[in-house]
């Protein structure tokens, strides 16, 4: 089984177009998120999140095998620090997102979380006219939460905003780790860090209700989110232009809305559908507004193996959500 998965991961980057991989990752992510919500009442959102991170770490460590340890031993101190940061950010992102989806609809939580990378991308352009996209997105969130009804869960919204901040850092550090490690190696290490950090919050909830059925179900959910989408995202971040990536990523709130409807029957009101549309339009508009600053995709690379991605080429490639001044400040520093 592990061998077949390894073979698939080796061949996928060269056989499947990056946009298709990214969209597949979105559907896997939000299918996993939808299924996870159904378990929150039985084991708590933090308990379920910790189990998913732990399963993900174990799966990725097994898939990494000996080349993973060779990559770990050959990594520099700075590379390992970056992995630890990514693991910390991943834990925070998943915890905040889970707490948000435990209180508000999936589509709403995803749209709020999307504000983070959208704001960073718009601020990076430094063109006043592009700020209208932030206004579009904020208006969309207003329609989603419908505060005029007085029923908005402010705690869920606050967790969503916290997840937005973590998501911005996650995207940046995912590409940094991806430029130093094979995708599966970087994720195996970062998920291990995330699992360890989440343990103090998740273990008590699991111990309070150690249901074997829930523990096993979280194994399947972990494959859907975070294993598959995180792997695919780390792969495509090295292969797509900034405009293409940002445009496709803008569809995520809509994907989340659809999966919430299909999997857990969260049927939005017409105003909420309009809110999602505004957020998607804002994301696409911001991406197209930055289309003048495009970059070629890196050469396609295997996800598995002992060699690491060439650091200098990755350093030269700007990320869609890293402001230009920050890139200049890093100078020739390696991603």
DSSP per position, 203-218: HHHHHHS--HHHHHHH
Q: Report yes or no: 225 and 28 within 8 Å, Cβ to Cβ.
A: yes
First vs last C-alpha separation in the chain: 33
pLDDT at residue number 152: 78
Token representation of residue 131: 């700020």
Judge residue 70's burial from the number of C-beta atoms within 10 Å of its C-beta, 0-12 exposed, 13-18 middle, 19 or more buried: middle
pLDDT at residue number 51: 97
Mean pLDDT by 10 residues, the chain (335 residues): 54 74 93 95 95 96 93 95 97 97 94 88 77 90 85 91 92 85 92 97 94 93 92 79 79 94 92 94 84 45 39 39 38 33
Judge residue 154's burial from the number of C-beta atoms within 10 Å of its C-beta, 0-12 exposed, 13-18 middle, 19 or more buried: exposed
Half-sphere exposure of 50 (CA within 13 A, CB side): 17
pLDDT at residue number 242: 67
Residues in the chain: 335
Token representation of residue 109: 């939580």
pTM: 0.81
CA-atom Rg of the chain in angstroms: 19
């Amino acid at each position: 089984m592990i061998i077949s998965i390894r073979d698939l991961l080796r061949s996928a980057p060269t056989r499947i177009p990056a946009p298709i991989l990214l969209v597949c990752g979105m559907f896997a992510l939000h299918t996993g998120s939808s299924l996870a919500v159904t378990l929150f009442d039985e084991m708590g959102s933090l308990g379920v999140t910790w189990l998913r991170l732990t399963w993900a770490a174990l799966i990725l460590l097994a898939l990494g095998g000996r080349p993973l340890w060779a990559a770990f031993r050959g990594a520099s101190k700075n590379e390992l620090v970056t992995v630890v940061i990514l693991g910390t950010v991943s834990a925070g992102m998943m915890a905040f997102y889970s707490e948000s989806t435990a209180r508000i609809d999936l589509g709403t939580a995803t749209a709020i979380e999307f504000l983070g990378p959208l704001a960073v991308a718009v601020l990076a352009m430094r063109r006043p006219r592009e700020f209208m996209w932030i206004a579009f997105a904020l208006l969309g969130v207003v329609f989603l939460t419908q505060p005029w009804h007085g029923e908005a869960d402010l705690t869920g919204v606050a967790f969503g905003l916290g997840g937005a901040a973590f998501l911005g850092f996650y995207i940046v550090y995912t590409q940094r780790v991806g430029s130093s490690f094979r995708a599966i190696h970087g994720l195996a290490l970062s998920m291990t860090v995330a699992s360890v950090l989440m343990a103090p919050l998740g273990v008590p909830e699991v111990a309070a209700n150690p249901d074997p059925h829930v523990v096993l179900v979280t194994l399947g959910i972990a494959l859907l989110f975070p294993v598959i989408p995180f792997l695919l995202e780390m792969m495509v971040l090295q292969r797509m232009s900034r405009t293409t990536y940002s445009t496709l990523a803008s569809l995520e709130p809509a994907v989340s809305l659809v999966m919430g409807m299909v999997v857990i029957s969260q049927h939005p009101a017409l105003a909420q559908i309009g809110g999602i549309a505004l957020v998607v339009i804002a994301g696409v508009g911001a991406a197209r507004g930055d289309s003048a600053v495009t970059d070629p995709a890196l050469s396609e690379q295997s996800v598995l193996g002992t060699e690491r991605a060439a650091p200098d080429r990755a350093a030269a490639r700007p990320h869609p959500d890293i402001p230009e001044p920050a890139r200049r400040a890093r100078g020739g520093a390696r991603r």
